[in-house]
Amino acid sequence: MAVSSTTGGLRTGVCLSTDRPQNPYNGQVIYETDTNRTLVWDNSAWVVVADPALVSFSGSAASVTGNLTGNVTGNVTGDVTGDVTGDVTGDLTGDVAAAAVTIGGENVTPYTGRKNAVVNGDMKIAQRATSVAISSGGGTMYYACDRFGVDNYNWSGGGQITLAQESSITPPGFSNSLKVSIGSTALVYGSGGYTAVKYSVEGHDASRFYGGNATLSFWVRSSIAGTYSILVANNWWGTGSADRGLVVEYDINQANTWERKSVTIDFASGTSAGTWGTTNSYGVLLQWFLGANANRIGDTYLNSWANWSAYEVMSSSATNWGTNANATFYLTGVQLEVGDKATPFEHRSYGEELMSCYRYYVRNDTGSYTHPACYARTQTTNKSRAGFPLPVTMRTNPSVSIDGVWQISGTSVSAISALSVRPAYVILDISNTPQTEGALWGYSGGIYFDAEL
């Protein structure tokens, strides 16, 4: 725009956008009080030269204060304080401090270190068995996928529960899931009976959440749509060790369809009372409840932390999934992270996840061949002692079980127990008659170390 000089000069007039001068002269400047815009008459039209809602410039500027709306072509060097909404093409170099960063529709908020406190959240490790059938009993914990257990307490009628590591029914980006299924006869829960998928976060890993918010996210699929509930506690309530509890709910909106869910847990309120583990004991207990007897259902802990006073571990509005014949439930992509937003699942390598699982369970199979395990020395009458190598330091002194045939220099071994755990090995007490020194051999079986929470 070219503005010529006039005898009137560039005098500024004040008006409304609806009451501009009727006979402006070339170069006349006005300020609109209702729009806060400055305009100049170019002898044919009013041209906006200043608009607080639109800052536009070419070349370079020392700083811009206010809102910048429109396209920026070129480099931006310096600090940007505030929200940036729109597409960014090019490199972003520097620090990003934000509650959330979304790229390509995915939340990619920066984090430091390992954000996911859940081991085997993608269900890829299954040391014990890839499938196991559970009959009603007194609370024995069973595992298909490592670290995620389901116990057998207590149903008075119905068939079995089957756990399996699933590889064909998985959400996008995952190769495995945990499947829980009911047989052809629905369960009838006895007093105190329930079905739940249990995961325990060790205190070493849970302490990062204490005093703030954490987000639990997971992929879930069920043959029964409806409301489900998750129990969060600071210890195993089945032995009366928990003293704080919280129940949160989530909805499965469509049957037989994978859905990603997330719930925010206010650990600041939770840890304001009670005893919370920070070492190798219980830190946080998580249980996805699938069914329960009436005396395990209630809302004492629903949506609000409370001191442990009742065994109402499943909410009253939750679906009693286990009372449906042929029901199926799938779980994978489990993540617990600091903050109040769910971020994409942290995929770790198979080897790294396996080593993390070894802290809680180690399976050493001999197969059908003779397998030298370690060297044993005589200790006392009918006892030998050995240091058995472990891939990692286990969480605590493990329980030890054996099957197949075990011998020391031809003398049969009747039992093995763990005396103490050390970095990278465990000291074994071996029962053999008579006590013998030599190599501990096993075949057609295995030796198993369990330090699970």
- Name every residue whose Cβ is closer than 8 Å to that of residue 83 and which is 6 or more positions away in sequence: none
The torsion defined by the Cα of 173, 318, 150 and 451, in degrees rounded to 10, comes to: 80
Say what the pLDDT of residue 63 is.
Answer: 58
CA–CA dist 426, 366 (Å, integer): 18
Q: Which residue has the tokens 């990692």?
A: 392
* Per-10-residue mean pLDDT, the chain, length 453: 46 84 89 90 89 61 57 68 68 59 56 84 97 89 97 84 97 98 94 96 97 97 98 93 97 98 98 97 98 97 96 97 97 97 97 98 81 81 88 93 87 88 86 85 87 96
Say what the pLDDT of residue 5 is.
Answer: 40
Name the burial class of residue 147, with classes exposed (0-12), middle (13-18) and buried (19+) by CB atoms within 10 angstroms of its CB: buried
Say what the pLDDT of residue 410 is.
Answer: 82
CA–CA dist 10, 40 (Å, integer): 9
> Are 435 and 452 contacting, i.e. CB atoms less than 8 angstroms apart?
no
Say what the pLDDT of residue 254 is.
Answer: 98
